[in-house]
Amino acid sequence: MKRLALLAAFGFAIVAVKAQDLKKLQGAVTLAAATGNWETVKADVDKLASDPKMQGKPETYMWKARVYAAIYKNDALRAKYPDALKTADEAFQKYIQLDPTCKLASDNNCTDIAFDVYGTSFNNGIRTFNSKSWDSAGFYFGTAVTYIDVIIKNKWTKNSLAFDTTSILYAAYAYQNAKKLDQAYNYYSRLADAKLNNKEYVDIYRFVLVANSDKKNKTAFDKYLATAKELYPTENWEDYELDYFNKNYTLADKAELYDKEDAAGTLTATKYLVFGDNFYNISKEDKEKLDSAQLLKFHAKARDAFKKAYQKDNQQYIAAFNVGVLYYTDFENGDDAVRANIKKLQELNRQMADEKDPKKKQALSAKLKPEIDAIKAKGAELDKKEGEVADIAIDWFEKGYAILKDKQNKTTQEKNLTNKSVDFLANLYQYKRDKARGKDQKAYDDYDAKYKKYDALHQ
């Protein structure tokens, strides 16, 4: 019993000694705070923290964080001890794991840990931001965010804050400039979640929408899109919807969505244009998966979408032009079919011409007559269809040209489309004119005048 009592007393003595060490350290910290002599107390806290018996105690990490945070705050000492922030942060993170409520820090006047790290990091953030050291600025502002969050959570400030908007915004912007987009997203999304709605914050929502398009995260995209539309109803968010659509939908998905939204009547002129573009400008990879019949279906779908874009907005010259181009493509394909049909007829006529024997020639003529008649009938059908397609193409090109012809200060695109429109119209009217030659003089003269008009307009 005496031996056990002796051991217990010895253990109590160790605890008492360590408590005295902590009390002594607390006094040294108080003196250092008054005098600024943190190097002396640094040696004391390093010694205490290296004692195996003191490791795992929240007080140890709290005092270490307090001392190193003060060193970090001091310009001269920070230069002498460049790892002061790292040491302070590691100690403080261990401390709050052991004392999540930060009661010890509040009771022992150690709240300066957070204020010293926050204030110094914020100032370093400004310095490095102004020098365009983006990665460093992101790190410092990010550190400032971490510590102001601690200050706010533990109500160590009288200011009524939910978070430090400035630090978060600058951390996001710095990481964005540093091309560290995931880190930037973490900060921007926090502000977006808070639904900040001053006009200068609109780019936050633009960033998170593009980021979620790139990540193919539809849930987050839809969430932030709804918020953006709610807070900034006059902004054009449709472009961001289309960005997600273009990046993340397969061709089959796009066709299905088009049919659904077209039937529901929810598509705008811009969306019709985008759908039309996707159905016409099919990627090489997708084209390889489609047969000719499927390609024709998408061709027709594109034409339908462009027509409806123009119906929604009759100033959509691109829609009118694109419909014209699609019909012109049909016209060119028809011309190829006409030429191929003529070639067949010429080949049969050549066979008859090559036969010199009158009797054999008569027999051959009788034999080939049904085939020749069929080719001629098909030729007449193809010619009729070509004329109809040419008329439709002319109509759409003239609609687009009418919008552009008198427009002042045209963009490069508008100038290009104006020139292309008159070129297509000249070609089509030339075709119509030549078809009327020797058959209808009035029609010939009318088409010739139109041809000359548009041919002269090319610049």
- Is residue 398 predicted with pLDDT exceeding 60? yes
- Is residue 446 predicted with pLDDT exceeding 60? yes
pLDDT for the residue 10: 37
Answer for the pair 161, 152: CB distance below 8 angstroms, yes or no.
yes
> Which residue type, as a one-letter code, is found at position 144?
A
Could you give the CA distance from residue 34 to residue 30 in angstroms, rounded to a whole number? 6
Mean of the pLDDT values across residues 31-35? 72
Domain range summary for the chain, segments of one domain joined by +: 15-110, 314-457
Answer for the pair 167, 138: CB distance below 8 angstroms, yes or no.
no
pLDDT category of residue 374 using cuts at 50, 70 and 90:
very high
Could you give the CA distance from residue 180 to residue 12 in angstroms, rounded to a whole number? 53
Could you give the CA distance from residue 126 to residue 253 in angstroms, rounded to a whole number? 47
Task: Tell if the pTM clears 0.75, that is, is over it.
Answer: no
pLDDT for the residue 73: 96
DSSP state of 233: T
Q: Residues 40-79: pLDDT tens digits?
A: 888 888 888 888 888 888 999 999 999 999 999 999 999 9
> Which residue type, as a one-letter code, is found at position 173?
Y
Tokens of 20: 């005295």
pLDDT for the residue 20: 61
- Is residue 304 predicted with pLDDT exceeding 90? yes
22 vs 245, higher pLDDT: 245
- Is residue 169 predicted with pLDDT exceeding 60? yes
Answer for the pair 64, 105: CB distance below 8 angstroms, yes or no.
no
Question: What value does the mean pLDDT of the chain take?
Answer: 91
pLDDT for the residue 21: 65
